[in-house]
Amino acid sequence: MKSRKLGIQGLEVSAIGLGCMGMSHGYTPLPDRNEMIRLIRTAYEKGEKFFDTAEVYGPFTNEELVGEAVEPFRKEVVIATKFGFDVANGSPGLNSRPEHIRKVVEQSLKRLRTNYIDLYYQHRVDPDVPIEDVAGTVSDLIQEGKVKYWGLSEAWSATIRKAHAVTPLSALQSEYSIWFRNLENEVIPTLEELGIGLVPFSPLGKGFLTGKYDAGYKFDEKDFRNILPRFTTEAREANQVVVNLLKEMAAEKNATPAQISLAWLLAKKPWIAPIPGTTKLPRFEENIGAVEVELTTEEVAHIDDVSADIQFVGGQYPEETLKNMAR
């Protein structure tokens, strides 16, 4: 597995990481836990060194899963996890108060079976807590050796700048893919200016860009994609045009649509490291195979131009969720 540097503080990760959320959260039916432990360990044997989780996934069970799986080779891998929800207090709301961060970091360390977290993200911006206070608290955790590097998730430029001025950020984790390019005008230039890496989540459009989920596909009734505007039957039918683009490019490159999607991200900037999730070994192998797919400048520009002209149907999240998100 090739590696990439996130930020200028020294964090080095696999060029393509492994998002572990779906192993115990969100995508149903959920897989067998022991099979997921074997998958993570097999991924490590194949060169994977970058594993992403969060306390809210489960909640808690995903951190426990990742912690058990990587325990035999803990010092050889990078674990990213997140704080910022109030799940420890049984609330669905946000909580990034300094005393709460200090409490939940201890709980995450215990679940992950480690004494340090490589990359610690604020999962969502908390409008009730100044980001400077959050950054200062994480700085204390770094000084104490409990955290090595830190980042934000789903934050925009003003927040990124304020946080970075207090405690330098190594990474931003936000949704970014061929069908969700909202970061390009403002956020990505800010990251480049400040020397902060980007970790795209949902780099395959929550599976849509693989070509598997056409308009006729029926998700499990508990699958969270059922509530996403871009996954209505009408939206999937309208958005199929981007899958057709990927299939055409994949045929030319002897690759798959998923690999083209990931290769496009890798070609955009040398400090971008996507974290596609999967619960199946063949899909993991397909995903990491994207590092061998090289897109020319002209091919990247072609994807940019064609996808920019597509009028995608459906928003990122339900309107109520978007209204409650501070950035």
> How confident is the prediction for the chain on average, in pLDDT?
96
Q: Among 57, 133, 74, 71, which residue's Cα sits nearest to residue 100?
A: 133
Angle CA(176)–CA(181)–CA(185) in degrees, nearest 5? 115
Q: Which one of the listed residues 27, 44, 57, 120 is annotated catalytic? A: 57
**What does the pLDDT look like over 98-153, one tens digit per residue?**
999 999 999 999 999 999 999 999 999 999 999 999 999 999 999 999 999 999 99
Q: What per-residue string of b and e applies to 258-287 under the rule 16 or more CB within 10 Å gives b?
A: bbbbbbbbbbbeebbbbbbbbbeeebbebb
Global confidence as pTM: 0.96
Q: Among 216, 213, 210, 180, which residue's Cα sits nearest to residue 198?
A: 180
Instruction: Name the pLDDT band for 154 (thresholds 50, 70, 90).
Output: very high
Res 310: pLDDT: 94
Catalytic residue status for 176: no
Domains of the chain (ranges, CATH numbers): 3-207+265-293 (3.20.20.100)
Res 317: pLDDT: 85
Q: Are strands 3-6 and 11-14 parallel, antiparallel or unpaired?
A: antiparallel
